[in-house]
Structure 1
């Protein structure tokens, strides 16, 4: 089914939508609003806000889908090539890291969360860095190479090796 290289490169790409949406949900509005640019504000209003609203309304369904995909790929119950399973697991692990950071951010007191210095020195560079990591992984997947992200790639490799049908 996934014998050709093109399908092996395209199948894992949709999995990287999950961490991107998670990033938009937690930090998208903060990033958009700090530019003070009418074009960015319009993009935020028309694109970021609806994605955030959809995620917020369907958060448990999306979580269930992620758990199902993760267990399927890590156990190897569906005979997928190792490259596909690795990249899907890596995308889900990136999603988990973003979710943990987002929850920690929400647990911070309001004065810390809305501190202008914290937002500009930590939050915005961290958000842009996470976006760069996601696009880096997508580009390498399209090139047919394994993305190497410290800690996350090793965890994805261990989960992939744990599977039953390594191919």
Structure 2
């Protein structure tokens, strides 16, 4: 299965990936980023150094507040992305790089949502304990680093190779072709 993903990535030459493709492929990663900040960031970021918290408050916090106060928005954006880029009879032109990244961001969003729901289902005593905060911190950095990796690869016009997730995306794309 891993060789199938490698073969797919070699079939698409980086020269075919335009600036529009690169920009369009990073936009969907806002969805899992905001979900991760909602699920884990709000709980642990206040404990980070003041300078990091100030940067967060000035840049991302207004977006997170808007995201939290309009929960239906994530649901709507998810289905719009699915309709426009993922389904077999998409109205958008076939752009494999954007489609790959949209589907990958949607899977990251779903995994992030599942992790957040699971974490919130844990007893409050555990979530506020040292071990709970360590788990929350680990999940936060997992989400943040995975998204940062995928976005950095997209900016360079490369396909991100996230274990299991990228393979699932490739299988989904192959099944629809």
TM bucket (normalised to shorter chain) is 0.7 to 0.9
Aligned 8 A contact 2:40 2:139 in 1: no
- SS of 1:80's equivalent? coil
State the TM-score, normalized to the length of structure 2. Answer: 0.81
Q: Structure 1 residues 142 and 42 mapped into 2: Cα distance closer, same or farther (>3 Å)? A: closer
**Which residue is equivalent to 1:138?**
151
Q: Comparing 99-108 with 3-12, which one deviates more in the overlay?
A: 3-12
Give the distance between the partners of 1:19 and 1:93, measured in 2 at CA: 9
Is residue 2:163 matched to residue 1:124? no
- Deviation of 1:110 after TM superposition, in Å, equals 0.7
Contact 1:19/1:91 (<8 A) preserved: yes
Unaligned runs of 5+ in 2: 1-15
2-side partners of 1:47 and 1:31: how far apart?
Answer: 17
Contact residue 24 and residue 51 of structure 1 kept, 8 A: no
> 1:74-102: per-residue Cα shift (whole Å, max 9, x none)?
22412231111011110111011001000
CA distance in 2, matches of 1:98, 1:82: 24
2:37 alignment partner in structure 1: 24
Ranges of 4+ aligned residues in structure 1 off by more than 6 Å: none
Shift of 1:161: 2.4
Structure 1 length-normalised TM:
0.85
Distance 2:171 2:141 in 1: 28
What is the SS of the residue equivalent to 1:12? helix
Separation in structure 2 between the aligned mates of residue 8 and residue 44 of structure 1, nearest angstrom: 28
Distance in 2 separating the partners of 1:81 and 1:104 = 35
Task: Tell whether the 8 Å contact from 1:29 to 1:44 is kept in structure 2 after alignment.
Answer: no
Q: Point out where structure 1 has 5 or more consecutive residues left out of the alignment.
A: none
Per-residue displacement from partner, 1:30-80 (whole Å, max 9, x unpaired)?
221222x33334345444543332112221122122122124322241223
User: Aligned Cα RMSD in Å?
Assistant: 1.9
State the distance in 2 between where 1:113 and 1:103 align. Answer: 12
Does residue 99 in structure 1 map to residue 113 in structure 2? yes
Residue equivalent to 1:151: 164
